[in-house]
Structure 1
């Protein structure tokens, strides 16, 4: 608890005063091995401690020496102190409080404790012990625990079992400031098979495919020990968790993790861990580093409610952003809201504990749902802002699927004409299959090649043909006679383009976005060998202009190692940690020759140095992203960017 070396010197000085009628600074310095100046400082501190605790005082006489003025009782107390096995010398208010808390928290589990017993164990007078008890009361209040002094009985803790466990975990992890977690656990919970419990958690880690950080591991270890220790007691103190809370918790991956930990612990023990303990551990895993439970005694229900409220608010924010960017109102899409909410719960767990998760559809989504995946990139910024976790490409792809399904549900009906010389039966089959595959496709008129006239198609959104029409019309989609999956996907992609075009307003960046751009941050026709060279080039300019810290560009590389940022059409959108951004900007580069970016070739790069830290920044980032998606949504549009010859012309193109 105290510094061992300082303790040792204090013990040696006190021993010298007890064994000698008179000592000098020079004598003590020579015997103990410290300078006379250090000896004088330590003697002043020791004298203060002795006087505060009613153990006498050190008297000094210039050019003669020093002696201990203490009676036999006081000397015996000092001797007990320096010969005690724990050798704790109480030096200040904080260390006294910590030492007292250890005994008080232990009392609640195994023994009783009176004020006199506490004072004697700390070598304090009763009045001084009462002052320390008041300090302990203040600390325990943080956890909604009352420390009472009961006449003819002693000290007593008045609290719920939840509050006690939170306080004890916090004390072991934070207050004792010790690397020996095991010793602290066994002090409060003697008789535990700590090795078995630790091995059970490690085994669960391996089976679940992740490595807990030291802090998380120790928290789970401490809470697991509490549950096992309680089950070993004759009079167990129960946790109060309702059936509705248990039902809610069972939806979370964290509950199954806690269940597995206890299952492994009890495999070789004659114990049954109550579901309330499983629930309690799962809540602690669930809330780790995600929300501040505050230790304010609001109970498990409030903690869980707070966590779910955070998720719900985030999902609503995501839907608002997507609605704003796409101009499709999804705010009343209950299916999207519920789907994202249910998906986020296990996703956050996976991200928090770095569990690998592969989405086999990622390749398809990057190829067929480019627009929607680009929208999802904005969500990754929101996700990091709210939860402090970096989302992977595979996870982002799943979110893109939810968004695409919602856009399909909420898009306006599409009218089409099918141009075909096939029989009526085959044409009907094609129409039925298209309607089943494309929800927006409500009306399909059939026309033979002989009767087809483009002038009769002014009222249709889509012209689907099984033969080449030799016409230039953006509405035309050519499919095979039997409509295979490739044909269906071509029709779907054309419908998506139509929906985006119909929702598209005049193409320009809002004036609020103009300050994100500046000619100095636009690099045209650069010649670089790889991604690292380009990002360092841009990063140095951003640092020089004071827009980011020196650490920013490393956070960009860190993100690139986790999540690829190429988005198709030869475009990449790297970005870094918002905490390292001083002023939001967008840096742009076009390259003379494409470079390999992840697994794709890229020659147009937008480094998004954007923030979401307040309402203005969030709104401006959304406005930028809304237009940016339209800026790069086709090869034709990206080719315009590639062709711009100077940074000034590029800047003018963006802000016109």
Structure 2
């Protein structure tokens, strides 16, 4: 069925406003196109209306008019639900081209530039301009737009990078209806429950964001594997993957998917899901993916280098050593298994923690030198968070008789460590951080043995005065809010002020 673009929708509305009929010349003059184009649009409209038993009559005297005029309103919503009328801005059109090309990869479909331009109701020259922007976006994922013989254009590149692109683009455009169609017919709610259950049983805590992203990765894998779009792994890589803790978790997830969703995924998808787990930001790491003794030695070399270059000595900071060892263990595994990661706070870290970021750069160069791998800025940013936490922690003593709190953080290990350090820096021995949890592990029982929860995310289905919402990077207003709610500073100030008034 032909697409009902913006111009064809306008023709529909014009004919609807003229039940007695409207000639083609009047329509073409009002829309600024030829009579031939109007005839083509009328034919496309007729094709679309055929399923509703509505016809467009044409006569030399009355022009074009609808049959069964009284039924038009009832079918109008259904007829135009997929129309292109919402492609008004360049950004919307670029997003649509991106969606169309990504959706076409599922069945290896090509589309000509002429057909795409016609579908979107834009000129070929405008399409080419937008297409260059799409190419630039895809280039970040090592994907290309290629011409496939005479059949048109399509995306080419590795399956893993294509999946990463789809998940990343979909996360960026959460509200975009086009990108929601990329995982049609997948019960994501049930899939989410399966993942949470397995992670909980295996005591593998992911951040909220990583857990949701993992669900999206697996949903995309299910959708694409149905169309025989699988990832191929060399034996050298599969042997490494099979020796990880995450491999057994992935197998269990796939078994549950088969039992509950009746979807039989191939063995290669076990390796793929393991890669996704290895790339996930964890609150607690229970794996032994990399030799931790070797990584700890690497951390000691980094701290000595920082001491020499910046005259800041962290060599006795066991908390930093353990945290950095844990993080590098995950990060090196992630890089080794060729999994990308996005750091949404990179610019904030650069601007607000320049010294910590400089330390991250030094650490990155040491890792590159000793492990012969390339570390990008996203990874450096997360390493810098550990140094930021160490700088904030300097001079802080153990908490004594403090309020017991839990921090709920949606981001990764580095940010949760920094957030914990910031809370301890501001409140010293007044607050005792019992643990850091992802949002999905918090329930009514969690509230029983603690005084307060500081949460960076809304906690669904839980209402309590013990819950205090804060920002991921603790702000001045957060500190004031905590003071007010936990230590009743607001009440004291109010009492002082009321002494001046009767």
Measured against the shorter chain, the TM-score band is 0.3 to 0.5
* Structure-1-length-normalised TM-score: 0.37
Between structure 1 and structure 2, the one with the greater Rg is: 1
* Structure-2-length-normalised TM-score: 0.47
